[in-house]
Amino acid sequence: MPQNFLACDREQELLLPPSLREWLPESHLAWFVIDAVAGLDLEPFHASYRRDGWGRAAHDPAMMLALLLYAYAVGERSSRRIERRCEEDVAFRVITANQVPDHATIARFRARHERALADLFADVLGLCAQAGLVRVELIAVDGTKVAANASQHATRDYEQIAREILDEAAEVDEREDEAFGERRGDELPPELATREGRQRWLRDARRRQDERRAREARPVPRSRAKRLLEARRRLEEDLEVERRANAEYEAYRARGVMKDGRRFGGPPKPYRPPAIPAGKINLTDPDSRNVKTPRGWVQGYNAQAATTEQQIVIAAEVTVDSPDFGHLEPMVNATQTDLAAAGVTARPHVVVADAGYWHQAQMDRLINRGIGVLIPPDAGKRKGARPGWDGGFYAFMRRLLATDFGGELYAKRQGMIEPVFAHTKFNRGMGRFLRRGRAACRSEWRLIAATHNLVKLHRHQTATAAA
């Protein structure tokens, strides 16, 4: 008797039309993303399309949004790889209903709806709140360095940019001298010197123009000279900001009295701006900066996040400063803004953060707003005590951190936010931004955080249904 195997006949034609509902189980993440998108307000996405029905038909924004959300949730961000998976992956084919959007269409959708994708974070946070996952009595704030889509070797200072502009201009002059010789270069060619020749050329030009209009327009990349000029302009703007700030500071010093009543010693020294702007700028991504990581310096951004005890991200922002100093109060404000947009009326009671967030003035303002702050002094890495550590509220915070309750409360910080960064950067492979510019990277970071919350919500509902 022969062995008994299930038949595998790839030549067998389907006798009944296939149903997408049979391709994936009902508990699959793809169906959850589709249902979540169906419950969102997509008017910001629809607003950028024509309402009169004219023009070439576009892909449904609901389908494109579900495709992006699912792709980011499983760690797939490249538009070309997303296009390929729309052909090869069953879950992607279910989301697109067997359509295969072109990679350029996917990339343009992501760029076109940059603001709407960033605002989507609050909508997903609202879904998590409805499921009871957003409890904000204790929140953790921290930042992680994310590499930019740029190379450190593309960083230049003002003198290097000016030198490259002059060198490129000299190369252009040399090429034009070789091509035109003693001529100016804008003379009419011989075929346009006569009336008959100009009429013939105009007929050919109209024909070429009609053919060009029939083809799809493609974006023209910026030339190197334009990028250099833009980088030079940014450095000059930074210098002007520095000049205005110093002028305001000199006006403050001219009063001669500090806030505590002490007088300045001697007359104020006038600010002398440098002859050329200081600092460097990256030609590939001018908004990115050289930020420090435990493994060295990288060209990138400081991605900030605030999370709950359930590892739900309730705020996600992007800064260009390498240290976390000065970002405690802005992140708490962003948390309250996103919670309000998500329809959550509760506010944080206690904020925990590492020593890099110690900012006495910001901590004072948060405490006056009724929000507790727990930040250690980190005396082992600093010489001397933190400002204000020996008095007032900070003496109480020092005693609280020394107790078992305070120690356990602060010990939750690492388990609240560090796994979120680890899952995002290593499990989902999102250690580098794909887009360029701070606004684009902020939109991408908030989309990453939104898909993290979607995955957490899906797992919560699956576990609840199984129980």
Q: With 50 as the cut, is the pLDDT of residue 379 above it?
A: no
* pLDDT, tens digit, 9 for 90 and up, residues 46-98: 888 888 778 788 888 999 999 999 999 999 999 999 999 999 999 999 999 88
Q: What percent of the chain has pLDDT over 90?
A: 37
Cα dihedral 113, 118, 120, 126, rounded to 10, equals -170
* pLDDT, tens digit, 9 for 90 and up, residues 178-228: 887 877 777 777 777 677 777 888 888 888 888 877 765 555 455 666 777
Give 464's pLDDT tier (boundaries 50, 70, 90).
Answer: confident
Give 16's pLDDT tier (boundaries 50, 70, 90).
Answer: low
Which one has a higher pLDDT value, 403 or 142?
142
Q: With 60 as the cut, is the pLDDT of residue 22 above it?
A: yes
Say which range, 112-121, 177-186, 220-229, 342-351, has the weakest mean pLDDT: 220-229
C-alpha pair distances (Å), 90 with each of 67, 68, 291? 12, 15, 40
* pLDDT, tens digit, 9 for 90 and up, residues 264-289: 555 556 767 777 767 778 888 888 98
Q: How much is the average pLDDT of 28-44?
A: 91
**Helix, strand, or coil here: 251?**
helix
* pLDDT, tens digit, 9 for 90 and up, residues 429-459: 898 999 999 999 999 999 999 999 999 999 9
Question: What ranges do the domains of the chain cover?
Answer: 20-112, 120-151+287-466, 155-283
d(CA 55, CA 7): 49
Mean of pLDDT over the chain: 83
Query: Which among 138, 95, 134, 123 is positioned nearest to 460, based on CA atoms?
Result: 134
Predicted pLDDT of residue 179 = 80
Q: What CATH number is given for 120-151+287-466 in this structure?
A: 3.30.420.10
Task: Classify residue 405 by burial, with Cβ atoms within 10 Å: 0-12, 13-18, 19+.
Answer: exposed
Q: How much is the average pLDDT of 7-27?
A: 73
pTM confidence score: 0.75
How far apart, in Å, do the first and last CA atoms of the chain sit?
45
Predicted pLDDT of residue 279 = 75
